[in-house]
Amino acid sequence: MAGHTVTRAQLTEAVYQEVGLSRNESAELVESVIAEISEALERGEMVKISSFGSFAVRHKGQRVGRNPKTGQEVPISPRRVLVFRASHALKHQINDGNSPTESARDIAAAARPGSRAGKSASA
């Protein structure tokens, strides 16, 4: 693992560099997106981000756990947990090193009628 963490400030800077908004507008945009995702999850809604993944809230029931030190049984109360499932595109990008833009271009090129992309030379 690389040990590098992407922060809100870095996301804001990336929006500033790529989109061209002011730094304040970039910060507001990043905060707005994070707030919208958080509020949707609080309401129990699933959040799907194309070519990235899905966030969902899963309900876990009450169960009995054990204190690892003493072995004593301890009730664990019901709770909601956040789960993330990566999209196939993100998994492919992580494993093969392709950027999502490159992958999308490759897929679009292969889908074009009359395109030679993805066809063998003998076809």
pLDDT at 3: 73
What are the backbone angles phi and psi of residue 109, rounded to the nearest 5°? -65, -40
Alpha-carbon 97 to chain mean position: 16
pTM for the predicted model, two decimal places: 0.67
The confidence score (pLDDT) of residue 8 equals: 95
pLDDT at 97: 81
| Joined tokens for residue 39 | 């509020």
Eight-state DSSP code of residue 58: E
Contact 55, 44 (CB under 8 A): no
Per-residue pLDDT of the chain (123 residues; tens, 9 = 90+): 567 899 999 999 999 999 989 999 999 999 999 999 999 999 999 999 999 999 999 999 999 999 999 999 999 999 999 999 999 999 999 999 866 555 555 555 555 555 444 444 444
8 A C-beta contact, residue 80 and residue 104? no
